[in-house]
Amino acid sequence: MKNEIQFEVFGDYALFTDPLTKIGGEKLSYSVPTYQALKGIVESIYWKPTILFVVDELRVMKPIQMESKGIRPIEYGGGNTLANYTYLKDVHYQVKAHFEFNYNRPEMEYDRNEGKHFNIMQRSLNAGGRRDIFLGARECQAYVEPCEFGHDRGFYDGQGSHHLGTMVHGFNYPDETGRDQFEVRLWSAVMEQGYLKFPRPEECTIVRPIKEMKSKSFDQDQVLSVEEMIREIGGE
């Protein structure tokens, strides 16, 4: 099945916020991207409601470095608070992922064309993505390029295991699970010589409900009208 995407993503800063550090307005980044953050990057390259992306593996190419900055968050009620955010600095990753058809969306059955989505996805990657790419936070702009996963030398090659502790893996949405529930997944991350293999979402054993949520349905005419608009401006 031609459904795989391999790319590198890099930027000056990243902020994959550990939710435990948000109390009091401070933010501290995880040492590596979460599954959900990488899935968001893949979906910024290309996404349709017909497909679901599964992130398979991450490779950390540069040393994990952090830098703290004094930030003045926007306070809509007024005020001039100074907060401390700790970012990852000078990041570079290789990512391998693939897409599957979303069978929880029977209304999109007509669009289950593997070759079509694969070809458009590759062209979108070569163009740098369809939407802006950022690393965990809007202020952390990033760039994507195609690559051969595992190629070139990484900083952590030959350096054994690194236990990264319990991290947020990602979120379960109703349109992906078929359940009217929004949930968060946790997992215990271990990096092996710079490689981080992610379990599939359904393989995560630590899942906590957040709130009830309904899936949004897509009408075929709506999707087709969007595709026609994209073709008119020169897209695919």
Per-residue pLDDT tens over the stretch 102-126 = 998 898 999 999 999 999 999 999 9
pLDDT of residue 78: 66
- Cα–Cα distance, 192 to 108 (Å, whole number): 39
Judged by average pLDDT, the poorest of 72-76, 203-207, 225-229 is 225-229
User: Which of the pair, 227 or 135, is modelled with greater confidence?
Assistant: 135
- As a whole number, mean pLDDT of residues 93-99 equals 98
Q: Which residues of 152-184 are buried (b: 16+ CB within 10 A; e: fewer)?
A: eebebeeeeebebeebbbbbbbbbbbeeebbbb
pLDDT of residue 74: 74
Q: Is the pLDDT of residue 173 over 90?
A: yes
Q: What whole-number percentage of the chain has pLDDT above 90? A: 74
Q: Is the pLDDT of residue 62 over 80?
A: yes
* 15-56 residue pLDDT tens: 999 988 887 778 999 999 999 999 999 999 999 999 999 999
CATH number of 4-232: 3.30.70.2660
Q: Is the pLDDT of residue 230 over 70?
A: no
Return all residues near 55 (Cβ < 8 A) that are at least 6 apart: 35, 38, 39, 42, 95, 96, 97, 198
pLDDT of residue 1: 57
For the whole model, what pTM was predicted?
A: 0.87
pLDDT of residue 79: 67
Sign of CA dihedral 225, 229, 234, 235: negative
- What does the domain layout of the chain look like in residue ranges? 4-232
- Report the chain's mean pLDDT, rounded to a whole number: 90
The token pair that represents 210 in the structure block: 């957040």
Residue in the structure block whose two tokens are 């893949």: 42
Q: Is the pLDDT of residue 231 over 70?
A: no
- Cα–Cα distance, 41 to 18 (Å, whole number): 18
pLDDT of residue 21: 85
The token pair that represents 55 in the structure block: 């992130």
Nearest to 222, CA basis, from 46, 103, 48: 48
CB 194 within 8 A of CB 60: yes
- What is the DSSP code (8-state) at residue 72? -
The token pair that represents 105 in the structure block: 């969306």
